[in-house]
Amino acid sequence: MIQISFEISNEIHHLLLFCAHKLFNKKLAISITNTGKNFLNHISLDCVIFGFHEGELKVLSLFYESLKLHSLPGGFIGVNESLEEAAQVVLKERTGLDAIFLKQFQVFSDFERSKQNPLVEKITKSNTTINSDFFDQRFITVGFYALVEYTKVNPTPDFISDSCKWVSLNEKIDFILDHSKIINKALQSLREQLNSQPIGYNLLPDKFTMSELRVLYETILGKELDRRNFQRKIMSYNILNKLNERRKGGAHKSPFLFEFNLENYEKALNDGLQGGW
């Protein structure tokens, strides 16, 4: 009997058994100790993490100095995880936050999409326990968008990226692969779901001014809204509590602060805010 030891994923284990069966007619016994984390082949996920700061929508991005390229934070699916669990892990690692608002919005599966991933070489060089076979595969990626409170985030790079930082959607940024396309689709989904997902609640701090909420809406929708009509409409939903408190310190008249009335907000989102049929 020969004994050989090396790290191997569940999939390879499974297939080894299969191959052994086919090749050697079951006469080979293979015993493998499984160490390390195993991921499903072919499947990845990418997160478009939105934050709102100084009147701009921003996205958390990893940067690779040597490549001069950005990428979205992403990850793989553990063999015992759901996509959502795997995405929460990514978010926790990049932002330090738990229980982030997360929503999958599209799968990107073009055959061409993961050809020539410039990161593969970096990954395999930086960590010898990872075999390049995993990364050389074709990947189908599930796009998630996440909404976080900008100031609570502690941007943290992963082991192959040089930095992790917020980038504005107005900047021209070079992303790897189809990540620019993924961001555009995420923004489009955000827009479409503005009336059915708790978007305001998750992007703003607990207390905020009416102007801050309005600018958020303007940014997501990409158009200006009349200050007075906006306030009238949003107040008519009964989803905000007006506080007896003002934002001090800024120039000019100090505005009142508001908070979401969570109970009413969730009720309203279930029906969809306003309109249509």
Based on CB atoms, which residue is closest to DNA, 5 or 236? 236
Q: Interaction with DNA in 153-212: which residues (CB under 7 A)?
A: 209-211
Does residue 233 bind DNA (CB under 7 A)?
A: yes
Separation CA 100–CA 215 (nearest Å) = 22
Contact segment (CB under 8 A) with its own copies among 88-96, 101-109, 179-187, 243-251 equals 101-109
Q: Nearer to its own copies by C-beta: 132 or 163?
A: 132
Considering the complex, what minimum distance in angstroms separates the CB of residue 196 from its own copies? 6
Q: Which is nearer to its own copies, 15 or 243 (CB)?
A: 15
CB 179 within 8 A of CB 105: no
Residue selected from 25, 249, 263, 270 as contacting DNA according to rule CB under 7 A: 249
DSSP class of residue 252 equals S
Q: Taking CB under 8 A as the rule, does residue 192 contact its own copies?
A: yes
Q: Does 223 bind DNA (CB under 7 A)?
A: no
84 contacts which partner out of its own copies, DNA, none, CB within 5 to 8 A by kind?
A: its own copies
- Output the smallest distance, CB 54 to DNA, in A: 13
Q: Which of 236, 244, 263, 270 binds DNA (CB under 7 A)?
A: 236
- The angle subtended at Cα 159 by Cα 47 and Cα 9, nearest 5°, is 80
Partner touching 19 among its own copies, DNA, none, CB below 5 to 8 Å by kind: its own copies
Contact 74, 45 (CB under 8 A): yes
Contacts with 198 (C-beta within 8 Å, 6 or more apart), sequence order: 101, 265, 266, 269
Report how far apart, in Å, the C-alpha atoms of 100 and of each of 28, 87, 239, 266 are.
Answer: 48, 10, 21, 17
Q: Verify binding: residue 262, its own copies, rule CB under 8 A.
A: no
**Choices 66-74, 239-247, 253-261, 268-276 (CB under 8 A): range interacting with its own copies:** 268-276
Alpha helices in the chain (DSSP H): 10-24, 83-95, 119-126, 132-136, 179-192, 199-203, 210-221, 227-236, 262-271
Cβ-in-10-Å burial (0-12, 13-18, 19+) of 56 comes to middle
- Shortest separation between residue 165's beta carbon and its own copies, angstroms: 29
For residue 156, CA distances in Å to 20, 58, 113, 136 come to: 43, 16, 26, 26
User: Which listed residue (62, 72, 77, 269) binds its own copies by CB under 8 A?
Assistant: 77
**Region 3-62 residues binding its own copies, contact defined as CB under 8 A:** 4, 6, 11-12, 14-16, 18-19, 22-23, 40-43
125: helix, coil or strand? Answer: helix
* 238: CB partners within 8 A, 6+ apart: 261, 264, 268
Interface positions with DNA (CB under 7 A): 209-211, 226-229, 231-233, 236, 246, 248-256, 274-275
